[in-house]
């Protein structure tokens, strides 16, 4: 087993790694589950991933979670928007739904300082990527203006997820992610700096060679988007060959990306200090084993 190395004089910090968990029991229950499987971060859906109303926030649960998380070194937590949120939809009702959901999600997340909010940028559904980029950017501007109206404080980091490019998805290239940021941020009046969550399965399926050319992919990301904007990693293997544009997650080391590539990923100096969130097809025992495996890769 190769040892993790950042620079010859640097020690590897403890790996921040966890998985997607059910939010049905609340924040404290998720944190306790995370600790039970060896995780120190976790991701959850803000509501049913197919849409619908979110459960009321229990402030006592949030307070208990905050205390437990501080005592057990948990964080940051990553909230994932529902899949039905499509800021680039062709129909006004679709875009209005996306806006109302994101506004509600962000207002709720302000109760858990330090949380991050990840969303799939959207699908242009035949309008073209340029139109989709414009719609996503204007959506973000309206959402953030609504959430911060009246000078309300706003601390939740908003992350655009890198996509595989299947169908009419926007965000399948680093250039499209950057175009959304460039179109939105000048209108945000400094209220928010947009970040990125890089999904290993998605970028692989999108054509980026993170197996044979990880350094080059990260250099390209830095040139186009900026590594300073990279805030989180979805760490997933892929069932598909590179460039398939299909987005089919696989267990770590069981797919086309492979175990050796993940060792390089979790030990890479540009990534090592970021939080890693598993979205592989596992139950809790499977996640426990994958978390232990990823930690072992850094030992």
The pLDDT > 70 percentage for the chain reads 96
Would you say residue 167 has pLDDT above 80? yes
pLDDT recorded at residue 113: 84
In angstroms, what is the C-alpha Rg of the chain?
Answer: 18
For the stretch 206-241, pLDDT in tens is 999 999 999 999 999 999 999 999 999 999 999 999
pTM of the model: 0.94
Cβ–Cβ under 8 Å, residues 143 and 106: yes
Stretch 88-117: mean pLDDT, rounded?
94
Helix (H) or strand (E) holding 276: strand 276-278
Question: Distance between CA 199 and CA 163 in Å, rounded?
Answer: 7
For 21, the token pair is 């968990």
pLDDT recorded at residue 28: 98
Of 93, 77, 94, give the one whose Cα is nearest residue 85.
94
Of 245, 223, 229, give the one whose Cα is nearest residue 163.
245
Q: 218 - beta bridge partners?
A: none
Would you say residue 263 has pLDDT above 60? yes
Cβ–Cβ under 8 Å, residues 177 and 196: yes
Cβ–Cβ under 8 Å, residues 106 and 156: yes
Taken in order of first residue, the domains within the chain and their CATH numbers are: 17-297 (3.20.20.150)
3-state secondary structure (DSSP) of residue 37? coil
For the stretch 29-69, pLDDT in tens is 999 999 999 999 999 999 987 767 888 889 999 999 999 99
62 or 13, higher pLDDT: 62
Confidence of residue 190 (pLDDT cuts 50, 70, 90): confident
Confidence of residue 189 (pLDDT cuts 50, 70, 90): confident
Question: Distance between CA 61 and CA 154 in Å, rounded?
Answer: 21
Question: Distance between CA 22 and CA 6 in Å, rounded?
Answer: 34
Would you say residue 14 has pLDDT above 90? no
Confidence of residue 7 (pLDDT cuts 50, 70, 90): very low
Question: Distance between CA 195 and CA 47 in Å, rounded?
Answer: 22
Question: Distance between CA 87 and CA 78 in Å, rounded?
Answer: 20
Question: Distance between CA 176 and CA 26 in Å, rounded?
Answer: 35
Spacing of C-alpha 199 from chain mean position: 7
Would you say residue 203 has pLDDT above 70? yes
Question: Distance between CA 173 and CA 128 in Å, rounded?
Answer: 14
How many other CB atoms are there within 10 angstroms of residue 47's CB atom? 22
Of 285, 283, 158, 261, give the one whose Cα is nearest residue 208.
261
């Amino acid at each position: 087993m190769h040892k993790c190395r950042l620079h010859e004089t640097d020690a590897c910090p403890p790996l921040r790694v966890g998985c997607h968990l059910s939010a049905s029991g609340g924040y404290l229950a998720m944190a306790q589950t995370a600790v039970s499987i060896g995780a120190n971060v976790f991701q959850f859906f803000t509501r049913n991933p197919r849409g619908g109303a979110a459960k009321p926030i229990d402030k006592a649960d949030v307070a208990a979670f905050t205390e437990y998380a501080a005592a057990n070194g948990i964080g940051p937590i990553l909230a994932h928007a529902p899949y039905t949120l499509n800021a680039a939809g062709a129909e006004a009702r679709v875009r209005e739904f996306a806006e109302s959901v994101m506004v509600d999600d962000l207002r709720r997340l302000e109760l858990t300082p330090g949380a991050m909010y990840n969303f799939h940028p959207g699908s242009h559904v035949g309008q073209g990527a340029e139109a989709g980029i414009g719609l996503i950017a204007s959506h973000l501007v309206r959402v953030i203006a609504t959430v911060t109206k009246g000078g309300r404080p706003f601390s939740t980091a908003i992350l655009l997820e890198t996509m595989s490019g299947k169908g009419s998805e926007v965000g399948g290239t680093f250039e499209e992610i950057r175009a959304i940021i460039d179109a939105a941020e000048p209108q945000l009046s400094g209220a928010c700096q947009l970040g990125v969550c890089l999904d290993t399965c998605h970028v692989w399926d999108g054509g980026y060679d993170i197996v044979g050319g990880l350094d080059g992919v990260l250099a390209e990301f830095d040139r186009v988007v900026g590594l300073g904007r990279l805030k989180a990693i979805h760490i997933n293997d892929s069932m598909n060959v590179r460039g398939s544009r299909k987005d089919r997650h696989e267990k770590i080391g069981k797919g086309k990306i492979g175990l050796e590539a993940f060792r390089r990923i979790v030990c890479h100096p540009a990534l090592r200090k970021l939080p890693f969130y598993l979205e592989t097809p596992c139950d809790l025992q499977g996640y426990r084993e994958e978390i232990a495996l990823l930690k072992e890769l850094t030992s």
